[in-house]
A = this chain, B = another copy of it.
Amino acid sequence: MRPKQISIRDVAALAGTSVGSASRVINGAPNVTPEIRAKVERAIAALQYRPSHAAQSLRSRNSKTIGCMFSDVTNPLYARAFRALERRFFAAGYMLLLANGLNDPGREISILNTFQLRNMDGVIIAPGNERHAGVLEATRQLTMPIVIYDRDMEVEADQVQYDHSAGIKAAVEHLMALGHTRIALVLWQAESRPVRCRIEGYKASFQAAGLAVPDLLVQVDSPTSSVHDEITQMLSRPDGPTAIITQGTQTLGSTLRAISLSGKRVPEDISVIGIGDTDFAEHYSPPLTVLRTPVESVAECASSMLLRRIQQKGPDPAHVNTFPYTLLERGSCGPVPRTK
């Protein structure tokens, strides 16, 4: 059925050279006579020869493939990160395997093991469960270069991360400058670096201002769940917030919905800052002030670090690169309402 896959032997035969020379031409080795090169190239074209990736991979021990594990590409910020990574790596001759950890440790371990088995040249990972012993173990098992994406894991690997703490601080300070002190922070409950750092920054902001940390920290179980009810309830409290900082797309959406249904307006009655710049925030009415995360820059950095480490195998200490948020002011923040 298949017309007998043409191999490098056929090329060599037709070019009248050895397979060795053919291989050199294919791999662009420097030491080849122009004549031989031309002959081989002609044969390749005539035969429509395409090297077998599996054979190259077996022999040369590199797969020209990068493994990516994010919790969920459905998260627009991960989707953007992946797109940037993919573009960069594809240009460099690599393809990306993408797997969603789905916050399931068992699944994450399985994915990590598969990456090892398939001999990825490098991996970029953001496990949902960074503290899980099994996940940690599976990660340590990995023998290829690793970039940890915004997680705290005690693993010998390069890291890229966002400065969530400073970002939240900037947001809180911005709101305080507008007179707010009853500032709520709505997060998705998870034992992960972003959440931990945000809480830390939140608390630090109030302490720095000499204020008590308000009882307005909301951690929901899942981004879809009870956010709406919790916010609604919080808004009805006499000491409810005059400003809310919220993460995510779904969580943010629920928050806004709850505000809207409580009969309050943004920003007149309540100010809102979103964490992470998304279409949603940009196009909401009013457009939302957000903490913008430099996703593309981070991806760029991650790919550079990984690529460098793949190329030069020399032992080089692990690097950690941290990127700042920027506060993007739009129309969702205003001064504290007088009548409250």
Interface residues of A, Cβ cutoff 8 Å to B:
2, 50-55, 57-58, 63, 65, 72-74, 76, 79-80, 82-83, 86-87, 90, 95-100, 102, 110-111, 114, 116-119, 143, 249-250, 252-254, 256-257, 260, 279-280, 282-285, 287
Contacts and interface: CB of A to CB of B under 8 A. Distances in A.
A54 B57 contact: yes
Contact of A100 (B72, B87, B280): B87
A253 B286 CA distance: 11
Contacts of A282: 253
A46 B70 CA distance: 32
A62 to B, nearest CB: 9
A58 B52 CA distance: 8
Main secondary structure of the interface of A (DSSP, over half): helix
- Find the residue from A54, A143, A280, A284 having the highest chain B CB count within 10 A: A54
Nearest to A58: B54
Contacts of A260: 285
- Find the residue from A2, A65, A76, A279 having the highest chain B CB count within 10 A: A279
Contacts of A80: 74
A266 to B, nearest CB: 9
A256 B280 contact: no
Contacts of A58: 52, 54-55, 57-58
Nearest to A285: B260
Contact of A54 (B51, B83, B99, B119): B119
A111 B93 CA distance: 11
A280 to B, nearest CB: 5
A317 B287 CA distance: 51
Given A74-B76, A87-B102, A96-B97, 13 more contacts: A50-B116, A50-B117, A54-B57, A57-B57, A57-B58, A76-B79, A86-B99, A254-B283, A256-B283, A257-B283, A257-B287, A280-B283, A285-B285
- Find the residue from A63, A74, A283 having the highest chain B CB count within 10 A: A283
Given A73-B79, A76-B74, A99-B86, A2 B143 contact: yes
Contacts of A98: 82, 86, 96-98
Contacts of A116: 50
13 contacts: A53-B118, A54-B54, A57-B57, A57-B58, A74-B79, A76-B79, A79-B79, A95-B114, A97-B98, A98-B98, A257-B283, A280-B283, A285-B285
A253 B82 CA distance: 23
A267 to B, nearest CB: 14
- Find the residue from A63, A82, A118, A250 having the highest chain B CB count within 10 A: A118
Contacts of A86: 98-100
A74 B296 CA distance: 13
A2 B53 CA distance: 23
Contacts of A83: 72-74, 100
A95 B74 contact: no
Nearest to A67: B95
Contacts of A114: 95
A260 B283 CA distance: 10
A63 B73 contact: no
Nearest to A98: B98
